[in-house]
Amino acid sequence: MQRRTSRWLAAGALAASGALALTACGSGFSSGGGDDSGALTSSNKALSVLIGSSGDAETTAVKAAVADWSSSSGTKATVSAASDLAQQLAQGFSSGKPADVFYLSTDALAGFASNGSLLAYGDKLSNKDDFYPSLVKSFTYDKKFYCAPKDFSTLALEINTDMWKAAGLTDADVPTTWDQLETVAKKLTTAGHVGLGIGGEYARVGAFMTQAGGNLMNADSTKATADSAANVTALDYVKKLENDGTLKFAKDLGAGWGGEAFGKGLAAMTIEGNWITGGLQADYPDVKYTIVPLPKGPAGAGTLQFTNCWGIAADSPNQKAALALVEKLTSADDQLAFSKAFGPMPSIQSAAADWKKANPTLVPFLDAADYAKGVPTAKGAADVVTDFNSKIESLATSDPKTILEATQKNLEALVK
Amino acid sequence: MTTIPRQPRLSERRRASGIRRGEAASGWLFTAPMLILLGLFLVIPVLMALWVSFSDWSGRGSPFAGSVGFVGFDNYAALLGGGGLAEQDFGTALKNNAWYVVLVVPLQTAVALFLAVMVNRQILKGRGFFRTAFYFPSVTSSVAITVLWLFLFNSTGAVNKLLSFVGVTGPNWFNDPAGILHFGVTTGPAFLENSTALGIPLWDWLGGPSVAMTAFVLLAIFTTSGTFMLLFIAALQNLNGEVFEAAEMDGASGWQRFWRVTLPQLRPTLFTVLTLGLIGCWQVFDQIYTGTRGAPGKTTLTPAYLSYQAAFQDQQWGQGAAIAFLLFVIIVLFTLLQRWVLSEKKVSKRRLRAYRLPETEGGVVAPTGEIRTKERP
C-alpha cells in the first residue's frame, strides 16, 4: 500500500509539474493584441489567407487574385483552402498564430468577435460606403463594423419551364403574391412532382417570414422577434401549402436540398439562392428553368440574404498589408472576376450594373438586395436556428405558434 | 480498466538491496520515453481540458493566460440544470446516445459471438473466406461506410427498394426524426409530455431512437461485429477441448454445452467486448460528423458531437470540455456497473440444483439460458 501511494504521488507530481510547465509556455503568448488603439500592426511578414472554398474554381480564382496583389504590393501571401474552416480558425486563434485574412460567416462573427480574435477594421476601409448597408449591418457586432462583406447571395424563385408549360401556364401567370403562388403550386402538382419543393429550414422558410413583415430577430440582431404575429402568419401559410400537398420539403422528397429536388424533377419550383445555377449546370444540365423574384407577402417583397466577409485576425503581425489585400479583393474588378469564376454577387453597389449586364438571367437575385433581410447574428444564434430548423422539419404536424414561442425564449436568452 | 485477474505477488520486497540496487533507476530510465510521451500527449491535455471545463476560456490565446477566470461548476450547471438551450441539447444528446448504447452493445456482442461460434466450427468449409468477409467492414474507414450507408438508406435507395419487394414502404431513413417506440403517435399523454428530465419531456425519452438513429445502430452493428468476432474466435480457440469432451460424456446437449461450458469460460472476453463496445458507443462521433451532423430534428445529436459543436462552432470551450468530462463519468459508471454484473458470484442454490444429478433428468433449457428442472414425483 505504501508503495502504491508513493507511486500515485509521483504521478501526481509529474502531472502537476507538466501543467505548470505548460502554464509557463502559455504565458508566453501575448494576451493582448485586440486593443482598440486604432493603430494597425505592420511588418514585412508574409500573409496567410485561409478560405472555405466551394471547389477548385473558387480556390484558383482566389489564389490568382491574391498572387496578383502580392506581385504588385511586394508582400508575400499564401492561400490555403480549409477543410473545416470554423475548426481551423478556432485552432489558429487559440494558438495565437491565426491566418491573417480568412473567410468568416455571419454565424461565426459574434463568437470570434466577442473573444477578441477579430480586428474591427470596417471603418478603415476606403471603399466602406460602397457596400450594401444591409450587408454592413450583418457584420456589425457591438456597434463596430468588423469586416468587409466578401460577396452575397439572395433567395429567388426558380421555375422549371417545361413543367410550367405542361401545366398550361404562361408568363402572365408568374406568381407575384402568396395567393398566386398557392394557385400555381396547385396547378403544378402532379403525381410525379410537387409544385414547390424547398429546403425545410429557416434559411428558406424565413423568406416567407420577411414577406409577412417578420424575422427571427431585428435587423441589428439585438432583439428577439420570433413570436411576432407576422411570423405566425408566414408559418401558417407554409403549413397550409404543405397540408395541401402542393409544397414539400426537399428531405421529404428524398433530396438533400431544394436544388437537388428541382434538378431531379421532383419539384416544379424551388426557392434557392444564386448558387443553384452552378449546381444545376454541373449535375442537371438538361433542366430548363427561369428565375423570378419571390412573390410578395402581406407586408410586401421580402427575401433572405447570405454573406461572408474577409476577417482579419487581431493577432496578425501585418494588419496593414491585410487591410490593403482586403480592399483589393473587394474591389469591383476582383469581385466581378470572382463572380465569373464561381458565381456569387458582388457586395459593392458600384459593381451592380456591370454584373447585371454580364448575368441578365440572374438579375432577380441582385434586385432583391434592396429588400433582403439578414439572418440573426447574435452570439449563439446559430444554435437556436438549428433548433428551430429541427422543429420546422415537422411543421406539417405541429403548431407554428408553439415552435415560434420556443424559439423566442431561446433567442431572448442570447440578448439578455 | 484491466481485465487481468489479480495474481498473488511472489515477493513483497520493500527495499531494493545489494546487487539489485540499480534496477529501479534503470526501470524508470527504460520506461521514461513512454511515460514522457503519455504525459505530454495524454495526461497533460486531459488535465488542461479539465481546467478549461471549469474556466471561462473563450478560445483565444492560452487557457492559462491571466485573463481566463475560474468559474467553478458554471459550465456543468448550464448543462445539467440551466433551463436553456444548452441543457436541452445535452439532454437530447444523452437520450439519443443512451438508446444507441442500449441497442448496439447487446446486439453487436450477440452477433459477434454468433459469428465467432459459426466460423469456429471445424465442419465449415471456407472458414477463412467467411472470417475475412465478416471482418471486412471493420477495416474499412468509418467515413466510407457512412457514405455507403447514406446511399443505401436514401428514401429511394437500395434498402427501401428491397423493402418494397415485400410490400413494405420504407421510411425516409436519415430524414425521419420520429422515435421508433412512438409508433407514429405524435403527442403523448399529458403527464409524460409535461414532466421533463434535462429539459426533455419524458415522452421523448421513452420514444426510443429515431428512425435515422436506427440506421446508425445498424451501421454500428455491421461494422463492429467483425472486430469483436475476432476477439471471440481467439478466446474460443483457447478453450480446452477436454472440458467439452467431459461435458459431452456427462450428457450435455450442444445447447447446454454452449450456455453452461463455453459461455462461462468466455467471461473475460465478454467483459472486454462489452467494455470496448460501451466506450465506443458512448463516444460515437465520426458517423455523425460525416453523416447527419445531428439532423433530423437533433435526433442523431450525441454528446461527443455536441462537445465538438459547442467548442469549435460556438466558441463555448468550457461547455464543450464539460460535456466531455460528463461523458467520461458516464462511461466509467457504466463500466463499473457492468464489471459488477459480470463478476464471479457464488452460485445460488437455485442454480446449483441444475447440476445435481439425482433430481434432474434431461433438463429443459429456456431461451434465457436458465435450466428449469422437471420435478418428478
- Can you give the residue ranges of every domain in chain B? 76-345
- Quick: pLDDT tens for B48-102: 889 988 888 888 777 887 777 888 888 888 888 877 788 888 888 999 999 999 9
Cα separation, A182 vs A175, in Å, equals: 9
Predicted local distance difference test score (pLDDT) of residue B253: 80
Residues of A within 8 A of B156 (CB-CB) are 254
B196 touches chain A (CB under 8 A): no
Alpha-carbon distances of B235 from B136, B267, B345, rounded to whole Å: 20, 10, 22
Which residues, including other chains, have CB under 8 Å from residue B286's CB and lie 6 or more apart? B142, B143, B146
Does the pLDDT value for residue B359 go beyond 60?
Answer: no
Clarify whether residues A283 and A398 are in a common domain. Answer: yes
Pick among B176, B315, B319 to test the A interface (most A CBs inside 10 A): B315
Q: Based on the fold, state whether residues A185 and A195 are members of the same structural domain.
A: yes
A300: closest CA of chain B, how far (Å): 31
Evaluate whether residue A234 is within a structural domain: yes
- A415 contact residues in B (CB cutoff 8 A): none
Shared-domain flag, residues A184 and A299: yes
Which pLDDT score, from 0 to 100, does residue A7 have? Answer: 56
> In terms of CA atoms, which chain B residue is nearest residue A2?
B14
Burial of B68 (0-12, 13-18, 19+ CB in 10 A): buried
Interface test with B, best of A383, A384, A402 (most B CBs within 10 A): A383
- Is residue A384 located within the same domain as residue A250? yes
pLDDT score for A21: 45
In whole angstroms, give the CA distance from residue A355 to residue A332: 10
- A148 and A174, same domain (yes or no): no
CA angle A353, A358, A362 (to 5 degrees): 85
How high is the pLDDT of residue B293?
85
Q: Exposed/middle/buried for B373, CB within 10 Å: 0-12, 13-18, 19+?
A: middle
The per-residue pLDDT for B242 is 84
Query: Which of B43, B89, B155 lies at the smallest CB-CB distance from A15?
Result: B43
Q: Where are the alpha helices (DSSP H) in A106-201?
A: 106-114, 133-138, 161-166, 178-188
Cβ–Cβ gap B177/A387 under 8 Å: no
Q: Give the Cα separation of A67 and A53 in Å (integer).
A: 17
Do A270 and A398 share a domain, yes or no? yes
DSSP state of B258: I
pLDDT reported for residue B18 = 67
- Total number of domains constituting chain A: 2
Percent of chain B with pLDDT over 90: 14
Window from A76-85, B162-171, B180-189, B308-317 with minimum mean pLDDT: B180-189
Q: Is B251 on the interface with A (CB under 8 A)?
A: no
Determine the distance in angstroms separating the CA of B55 from the nearest CA of chain A, rounded to an integer: 14
Answering whether pTM is above 0.90, one says no
Q: Are residues A225 and A325 in the same domain?
A: no
CA of A374: how far to CAs of A85, A149, A202, in Å?
21, 12, 12
Residue A1 lies in a domain: no
Its domain, for residue A313, covers 47-153+306-372
* CATH at A313: 3.40.190.10
Cell numbers standing for residue A201 = 429550414
Which residues 227-256 of chain A have a CB within 8 Å of chain B? 251-254
Q: Judge whether B43 is closer than 8 Å to chain A, CB to CB.
A: yes
Contact partners, residue A23, CB within 8 Å, separation at least 6: B64
Same domain, A348 and A394: no
Cβ count near A280 (within 10 Å): 20
Q: Is the pLDDT of residue B19 over 80?
A: no
From its phi and psi, is residue A116 left (phi > 0), alpha (psi between -120 and 50) or beta? left
Percent of chain B having pLDDT more than 70? Answer: 87
In a domain, A37, yes or no: no
Helix A106-114, helix A381-392: angle, nearest 10: 150
Confidence of residue B32 (pLDDT cuts 50, 70, 90): very high
Residues from chain B that touch A31, judged by Cβ atoms under 8 A, are: 61-62, 65-67
Q: Is B41 part of the contact surface with chain A (CB cutoff 8 Å)?
A: no
Q: What pLDDT sits at residue A26?
A: 40
pLDDT for position B15? 55
Report which DSSP code applies to B67. T
pLDDT of B166 above 80: yes
Q: Which of B197, B174, B157 is nearest to B300 (CA)?
A: B174
Which residues does chain A have within 8 Å of residue B40's beta carbon, measured at their own beta carbons? Answer: 18
Residues in chain A, pLDDT under 50: 1-2, 14, 18-36
Per DSSP, B346 falls in state P
User: By the CB < 8 Å criterion, does A115 face chain B?
Assistant: yes
Chain B residues whose CB is inside 8 A of the A25 CB are 62
Q: Is A171 exposed, middle or buried (0-12, 13-18, 19+ CB in 10 A)?
A: exposed
Q: Give a yes or no: residue A367 inside a domain.
A: yes
Q: What was the pLDDT predicted at B31?
A: 92
Question: Which chain B residues are closer than 8 Å to A383 by Cβ?
Answer: 85, 89, 314
Is residue A39, in this structure, part of any structural domain at all?
Answer: no
Q: Per-residue pLDDT for B11 more than 90?
A: no
Is the minimum CB–CB distance between A26 and chain B shorter than 8 Å? Answer: yes
Class of domain B76-345: mainly alpha
Cell digits of residue B73:
461548476
Question: For chain B, first and last CA: distance in Å?
Answer: 50
Nearest CA-CA partner of A295 in A171, A179, A159, A177: A177
- Among B155, B171, B288, B289, which residue's Cα sits nearest to residue A255? B155
Q: Is residue A269 part of a domain?
A: yes
By Cβ distance, the residue of A23, A86, A254 closest to B313 is A86
Cross-chain residue pair B44–A19, CB shorter than 8 Å: yes
A392 contact B CB<8A: no
Number of H helices, E strands in chain B: 18, 4
Beta strands in A88-132 (DSSP E): 101-105
A299 and A267 share a domain?
yes
Lowest mean pLDDT across B45-59, B178-192, B241-255 = B178-192
Mean pLDDT of chain B: 80
Tell me: do A132 and A198 sit in the same domain: no
Q: Which triple of cell numbers denotes residue B60?
A: 483565444
What is the DSSP code (8-state) at residue B358? T
pLDDT at B118: 84
| Cβ atoms of residues A62 and A49 within 8 Å | yes
Same domain, A392 and A408: yes
Q: Which of A254, A382, A393 sits opposite B155 (nearest CB)?
A: A254
Strands (E), A258-299: 267-273, 289-292
Of A96, A393, A397, Cβ closest to residue B186:
A397
Q: Flag if A93 and B59 touch (Cβ within 8 Å).
A: yes
Distance from CA of B97 to the nearest CA of A (A): 18
The two beta strands, A194-198 and A267-273, are parallel
pLDDT at res. A19: 47
Predicted pLDDT of residue A404: 92
Could you tell me if residue A33 is inside a domain? Answer: no
Under a CB-based contact definition with an 8 Å cutoff, are residues A115 and B59 in contact?
Answer: yes
User: Considering Cα of B257, then B260, then B264, then B270, what sign does the dihedral take?
Assistant: positive
- Cα–Cα distance, A157 to A180 (Å, whole number): 13
Set of chain B residues whose Cβ sits within 8 Å of the Cβ of A382: 313-314
Rounded Cα gap, residues A170 and B91, in angstroms: 52
Peptide bond between residue B296 and the one before it cis (omega within 30 degrees of 0): yes
Predicted confidence at residue B149, as pLDDT, reads: 87
pLDDT at site B329: 92
Beta carbons of B44 and A15 less than 8 Å apart: yes
How many angstroms separate the CA atoms of B102 and B113, rounded? 17
Contacts of A391 in chain B (CB under 8 A): 297
Q: Is B293 helix (H, G, I), strand (E, B) or coil?
A: coil
What is the spatial distance between Cα A340 and Cα A333, in angstroms, rounded to a whole number? 11
One domain, residues A283 and A396: yes
